[in-house]
Amino acid sequence: MSNSPRPIRRIVIAGGGTAGWMVAAGLSKCLGKQFDFRLVESEEIGTVGVGEATIPTLHFMHEILDLDEKEFIQATQATFKLGISFENWRNVGEHYFHSFGKTGKSHWTAGFHHFWLEARKRGLASSYDDYCLELRAAMESRFALLPDNGINYAYHFDATLYGQYLRRIAEGLGVQRIEGKIAQVHTDADTGFITGLQLANGPVIAGDFFIDCTGMRSLLLGETLGVPYESWAQWLPCDSALAVQTTRVGQPVPYTRSIAHPWGWQWRIPLQHRVGNGVVFSSQHIGDDEAKATLLANVEGEVLREPRVIRFTPGQREQVWKKNVVAIGLSSGFLEPLESTSIHLIQKGMSRLVELFPTDGIRQSDVDEYNLQTRDAIEVIRDFIILHYHVTNRDDSAFWRQCRQMDVPPLLKHRIQHFRDTARVMLRPGELFAENSWVQVLLGQGILPSSHHPITRNMDDRTLSGFLGDIRKDVARTLMKLPTHQQFIDRFCPAP
């Protein structure tokens, strides 16, 4: 494609799910009044209605928007999230935690886990979990905001309420919402650029630049501009989900539960007013009816709405920016919700677009850069998710045997072997999941490295034991001071 020197003034966002409203709020806040923002959505089509667990990077989005945390929590019935409990993933009946935050203290040469492995070898260490505040707090269902970002957390929230909340913010920033079903997409005969969205009820919404947030249908980028979808189903075996909401039972825990089944897994996301539940499964290994029966047999509380099936192909559009269209959200691709990364990717897509925004006209080099950055960012996340499936002791079903035996992407294969041999986790530039995440999941899924960094041998038993003991005591001391998660919610952001 050649460069297009036409300046951009009219920005049209197609779709008003979480992606559409996050993008509308973020772009209008960052790019300001020199643009005219319009968002088209159809109540009749609705939104996917799931997507309620987040990761700590969401704070950046809320900082951009200058949101008041208490107001956000009240508006979305949010709870706090300190990580994910992975149950039955390594072996049936066992669990481990992927928590936010850091475990222990690292030296620049080697992460904390190297020291823990050395101490473990000498019989001086307790469980790896004891050295991480977020993990211990999650297990004991405690939470508080601590000074100096002393606790790393994210949220669970009601996706519908979050959309409504962002809509109020975006409209306050001048975004115009247009209700209507897009019946046709007009393109320029010479350039192939999109010129307008024809609504079924009459008007054409003309624009210079379009953000495709139309969900899995990908009406602009996929259907109209014909950008192919690259499937990653060979590594991510699940292609279906069933979601159901239930009434609240007991106090919400500050973590997501991910419970593996012989053909996929189940999530449980506690909000203040209800619980979000669902199963993610491989349709080749279980039928919808059986998956639904298992889901309903494993939820607590009263079912609020009939479960509904959602089909997906894990993967990504080959490009996410083509001509004058950028796809953000499910229209750009979908990994699967195991590590709650989709909302993060929406936010990243929005902030990346702000950085590269083609105000004075589209240059192909900006388009290429955007596509390159997106691909680099998502492939390492994809690999991290594959890791959970691939490294397991489970062989009790065809699904798990397939996961164990599959050939994983070369970089992931190398990273697993490198950890197995040396305990090293070498991060890629800009990688989302830090060393702490990789180590918790690699150990949690059952890999115990055969060696670790020799620098740890410089510590004699007393020093090493003291080093670990001090961290453990620090964690335990802070933990004692934390109220329960529910007490904190009641104090910090009581229901209005």
Task: Report in angstroms how near the CB of residue 160 gets to ligand FAD at its nearest.
Answer: 10
Among 307, 337, 444, 449, binds ligand FAD (CB under 6 A): 337
Q: Which is nearer to ligand FAD, 337 or 358 (CB)?
A: 337
The verdict on 222 binding ligand FAD (CB under 6 A) reads: no
Q: Which is nearer to ligand FAD, 39 or 439 (CB)?
A: 39
Helices (runs of H) and strands (runs of E) counted in the chain? 14, 21
Which of 342-380 are b and which e, b meaning 16 or more Cβ less than 10 Å from the residue's Cβ? bbbbbbbbbbbbeebbbeeebbeebbeebbebbeebbbb
Among 28, 42, 79, 436, binds ligand FAD (CB under 6 A): 42
The verdict on 349 binding ligand FAD (CB under 6 A) reads: no
**Residue-wise DSSP of 238-250:** --EEEEEEEE--S
Among 254, 307, 329, 349, binds ligand FAD (CB under 6 A): 329
The verdict on 45 binding ligand FAD (CB under 6 A) reads: yes
Q: Please state, as a whole number, how many other Cβ atoms lie within 10 Å of the Cβ of residue 426.
A: 12
Among 144, 154, 169, 219, binds ligand FAD (CB under 6 A): 219
Please, which residues have CB within 8 angstroms of residue 154's CB and are 6 or more apart in sequence? Answer: 53, 54, 55, 56, 57, 58, 59, 80, 81, 100, 340
Closest CA to 225 of 92, 136, 326: 326
Q: What is the β-pairing status of strands 209-212 and 10-14?
A: parallel
Closest CA to 266 of 49, 82, 80, 84: 84
Q: Please state, as a whole number, how many other Cβ atoms lie within 10 Å of the Cβ of residue 469.
A: 14
Half-sphere exposure of 429 (CA within 13 A, CB side): 4
Q: Which is nearer to ligand FAD, 323 or 348 (CB)?
A: 348
* 18-26, 69-77, 137-145, 437-445 -> range binding ligand FAD (CB under 6 A): 18-26
The verdict on 333 binding ligand FAD (CB under 6 A) reads: no
Residues 243-282 within binding reach of ligand FAD (CB under 6 A): 243, 278
Q: Which is nearer to ligand FAD, 242 or 403 (CB)?
A: 242
- Stated length of the chain: 496
Task: Report in angstroms how near the CB of residue 356 gets to ligand FAD at its nearest.
Answer: 20
Task: Report in angstroms how near the CB of residue 395 gets to ligand FAD at its nearest.
Answer: 26
**DSSP character for 128?**
G
Task: Report in angstroms how near the CB of residue 211 gets to ligand FAD at its nearest.
Answer: 11
Closest CA to 165 of 74, 245, 82: 74
Task: Report in angstroms how near the CB of residue 52 gets to ligand FAD at its nearest.
Answer: 5
The verdict on 449 binding ligand FAD (CB under 6 A) reads: no
The verdict on 48 binding ligand FAD (CB under 6 A) reads: yes
CB 259 within 8 A of CB 294: no
Please, which residues have CB within 8 angstroms of residue 148's CB and are 6 or more apart in sequence? Answer: none
Rounded-to-integer distance, Cα 110 and Cα 422, Å = 11
Task: Report in angstroms how near the CB of residue 345 gets to ligand FAD at its nearest.
Answer: 7
The verdict on 15 binding ligand FAD (CB under 6 A) reads: yes
Rounded-to-integer distance, Cα 376 and Cα 369, Å = 11
Q: Which is nearer to ligand FAD, 151 or 159 (CB)?
A: 159
What angle in degrees, to the nearest 10, is found between the helix axes of 58-65 and 342-355?
Answer: 50
* 3-11, 105-113, 223-231, 328-336 -> range binding ligand FAD (CB under 6 A): 328-336
Distances (CA, A) of 118 to 124, 127, 427, 435: 9, 13, 22, 18
* 125-133, 215-223, 349-357, 415-423 -> range binding ligand FAD (CB under 6 A): 215-223
Binding residues for ligand FAD, how many (CB under 6 A)? Answer: 39
Task: Report in angstroms how near the CB of residue 180 gets to ligand FAD at its nearest.
Answer: 6
CB 273 within 8 A of CB 409: no
The verdict on 111 binding ligand FAD (CB under 6 A) reads: no
| Interface characters, 160-199, with ligand FAD (x: CB under 6 A) | ---------------------xx-----------------
The burial class, CB within 10 Å (0-12 / 13-18 / 19+), for 384 is buried
Among 26, 37, 38, 51, binds ligand FAD (CB under 6 A): 51
Task: Report in angstroms how near the CB of residue 318 gets to ligand FAD at its nearest.
Answer: 18
Q: What is the β-pairing status of strands 264-270 and 256-261?
A: antiparallel
Among 105, 217, 418, 424, binds ligand FAD (CB under 6 A): 217
| Interface characters, 301-320, with ligand FAD (x: CB under 6 A) | ---------x-x--------
Which residues here bind ligand FAD, judged by CB under 6 A? 15-20, 40-42, 45-48, 50-54, 159, 181-182, 213-215, 217, 219, 241, 243, 278, 310, 312, 329-331, 337, 340, 342-343, 346
